[in-house]
Amino acid sequence: MKTPEPSTAPLWSGSPAGRHFAEVPVTGLLSGQRLGLPLHWVRGLEDGPVLGVLAGIHGDESFPPLALKAFLDGLEPGRLRGVVVVMPVANPLALAAFSRFTPEHHGNPDLHTSFPGKLDGSLTQMLAAAISRYLLQHVDALLDIHSGGMGGRLQSRTDFDRAATGAVRDESLRLCRAFGLPFIHANDLRGSAVGYVTSLGRPAIGVEVGGAYLGRSATGTYTRRLVEGLEGVLRALGMVAGGTEPPFPRQLLFGLEARVEVNPTTGGLLISSFEEPQDIGRRIEAGTLLGEVLDPRTLDVTQRLLAPVDGYLFFSRYSGAVEAGSKGFAIADEANARWLEASGP
Helix pair angle (216-236, 63-73), 10° resolution: 60
Mean per-residue pLDDT, 100-105: 92
Question: 155 forms bridges with which residues in the sheet?
Answer: 210, 315
User: Is the pLDDT score of 143 beyond 80?
Assistant: yes
Q: What is the pLDDT of residue 213?
A: 86
Mean per-residue pLDDT, 200-219: 92
Q: Which residues, including other chains, have CB under 8 Å from residue 59's CB and lie 6 or more apart? A: 91, 92, 93, 94, 95, 96, 97, 98, 99, 100, 101
Angle at 26 between CA 133 and CA 113, to 5 degrees: 65
Q: What is the pLDDT of residue 175?
A: 97
User: Is the pLDDT score of 258 beyond 60?
Assistant: yes
User: Is the pLDDT score of 281 beyond 60?
Assistant: yes
- Are 311 and 288 a contacting pair, CB within 8 Å? no
Q: How many Å apart are CA 12 and CA 42, to the nearest integer?
A: 9
Distances (CA, A) of 24 to 52, 82, 90, 96, 126: 14, 21, 10, 18, 12
Mean per-residue pLDDT, 106-114: 95
User: Is the pLDDT score of 248 beyond 90?
Assistant: no
pTM tops 0.75, yes or no:
yes
User: Is the pLDDT score of 4 beyond 90?
Assistant: no
